[in-house]
Amino acid sequence: MITPNDFRTGLLVRFKNDIYEIVEYQRVKIAQRRAFVRTKFKNLMTGRTIEENLSSDEKFEELEVERKKSRYLYNDGDSYHYMDMEHYDQFVLPKEILGDKISYLTENLIVDVIYIDGKPLTMEVPTFIDLEVVETDPDYKGDTATGGGKPAKLSTGMVVSVPFFIGVGTKIRIDTRTNTYVERVG
């Protein structure tokens, strides 16, 4: 059992008889009152997020999770298809559960799928992903003195800020934790 003081982003807990991922949390101490933890949870079954203020001494069950390497195959609208790399079993995860992570999915990408009680629930993308720039303004004028950037649309549809020298067709590395440009690749 854990308390809200033990929370960290990405932790999976059982809350209100469902499985939730902790998206954000903040410890709050107001003068003359007990401290509490303001937490944003994401329901892994429905994909909905809720916010709760929790007492620091509430108890939560931390879930034992199993992570398996899987290959992303394709999507057919709202369903995203994967293959377990160990047993070659294919399974589907719905779009609502994956949320913003779909912005990083490219065919044959290896991801960590999280299993609870033998059932695949969600997935985690690698920390760094290489994607191709498909659209950006070649003559973008900006503040070059402060090292600014310009918007670039990537092969998955995501838009990030990149340095002015990046052009269409360039492969770049993205940090999936912050959705930011890291470096040019190759």
> At 88, which amino acid appears?
Y
Integer Cα distance of 84 and 119 in angstroms: 12
pTM of the predicted model over 0.75: no
pLDDT, one tens digit per residue, over 152-176 is 999 999 999 998 888 999 999 999 8
Is there a single domain that holds both residue 172 and residue 133?
yes
The per-residue pLDDT of the chain, averaged, comes to: 87
With vertex at residue 110, the alpha carbon angle to CA 106 and CA 116, rounded to the nearest 5 degrees, is 115
Is there a single domain that holds both residue 120 and residue 146?
no
pLDDT, one tens digit per residue, over 16-49 is 888 888 888 998 888 888 888 999 998 877 778 8
Last residue of a domain, one of 62, 84, 107: 62
* Domain CATH for 42: 2.30.30.30
Last residue of a domain, one of 23, 38, 62: 62
* Domain CATH for 70: 2.40.50.140
Integer Cα distance of 154 and 37 in angstroms: 37
Is there a single domain that holds both residue 8 and residue 53?
yes
CA distances from 28 to 22, 56, 103, 135, 152 (A): 16, 10, 33, 43, 38
Could you tell me the residue range of the domain that residue 71 belongs to? 66-124
Integer Cα distance of 47 and 8 in angstroms: 19
pLDDT at 50 > cutoff 70: yes
Is there a single domain that holds both residue 71 and residue 48?
no
Is there a single domain that holds both residue 98 and residue 138?
no
pLDDT, one tens digit per residue, over 67-90 is 899 999 999 988 999 999 999 999
With H, G, I as helix, E, B as strand and everything else as coil, classify residue 106. Answer: coil
Is there a single domain that holds both residue 133 and residue 177?
yes
Q: In what order do the strands lie in the sheet with 150-154?
A: 159-162, 150-154, 128-136, 171-175, 180-185
Tokens of residue 2, six digits? 């854990």
Last residue of a domain, one of 45, 62, 79: 62
Is there a single domain that holds both residue 140 and residue 119?
no
How many domains does the structure of the chain reveal?
A: 3
**Residue that wins the pLDDT comparison between 6 and 46:** 6
